[in-house]
Chains A and B, each alone.
Chain A
């Protein structure tokens, strides 16, 4: 059974710092990996999607890498801002176009950026 672990569980840093969030998964036979952001009480906003054949994806100040063989992904946030404060979730999909139970989620990293 696929398990996803995110480290750290919580992180508080001053504004402007660069930071790295970690995600690991137990079954390397994934189809893709997605990073989401969740604000308190809200739905999930997709940040980056990495297909299994890709090594990284970038969007603005965000960069996500994927090392499928070692079962690891990292989300790099450059020049953090207070608006980045949220819970960041990593999720993997084992199948194309859905399948089984869809996404398997980590428990998230709760990020606070201090002004």
Chain B
């Protein structure tokens, strides 16, 4: 069974640009979560998508957004990039059976 897949693995962007990160959940998982892990900080909850809808968002500005597609894959979009957006972005999926969360390998975003 394929795990959670994230792409790209690394990105370098310039301040003010826009970026899109992608996540494919485990087959059968309908919920996708996005987390930000800045250097030296803990994991911060960004967004939760389930059945194609945004269900909850963390304490992040509106320039962080995303969507979930009918096949349950998800995109995270960040507009007007700032230096402090440099972080590891992790995607996780889970199912309604409560079998725990599975994480992808993450996307390392560097804003210069």
Main secondary structure of the interface of B (DSSP, over half): strand
Among B6, B94, B98, which residue has its beta carbon within 8 angstroms of that of A102? B94
Looking across the interface, which residue of chain B has its beta carbon closest to that of A6?
Answer: B42
Residues of A within 8 A of B64 (CB): none
Looking across the interface, which residue of chain A has its beta carbon closest to that of B88?
Answer: A41
Residues of B within 8 A of A108 (CB): 42
Q: Is the CB of B90 within 8 A of A97?
A: no
**Minimal beta-carbon separation of B78 from chain A (angstroms):** 19
Residues in A77-115 with C-beta less than 8 Å from chain B = 89, 91, 93, 96-103, 105-108
**Minimal beta-carbon separation of B6 from chain A (angstroms):** 8
Q: Is the CB of A105 within 8 A of B43?
A: yes
Tell me the count of chain B residues lying within 8 A, CB to CB, of chain A.
28
**CB of A36 closer than 8 Å to a CB of B:** yes
Q: A98-B48, A98-B50 are in contact. Are A34 and B100 (CB under 8 A)?
A: yes
1/0 per residue, CB under 8 A from A, across B56-97: the answer is 101000000000000000000000000000001010101111
Residues of B within 8 A of A41 (CB): 88, 108
Q: How far is the CA of A100 from the CA of B45 in the complex (A)?
A: 10
Residues of A within 8 A of B105 (CB): 42-43
Q: How far is the CA of A40 from the CA of B90 in the complex (A)?
A: 14
Looking across the interface, which residue of chain A has its beta carbon closest to that of B102?
Answer: A46
Q: How far is the CA of A45 from the CA of B106 in the complex (A)?
A: 12
Residues of B within 8 A of A101 (CB): 33, 45, 48, 56, 58
**Minimal beta-carbon separation of A33 from chain B (angstroms):** 10
A-B contacts, 14 listed (Cβ < 8 Å): A41-B88, A41-B108, A46-B100, A89-B43, A93-B98, A96-B97, A96-B98, A97-B95, A97-B98, A98-B48, A101-B45, A101-B48, A103-B33, A106-B42
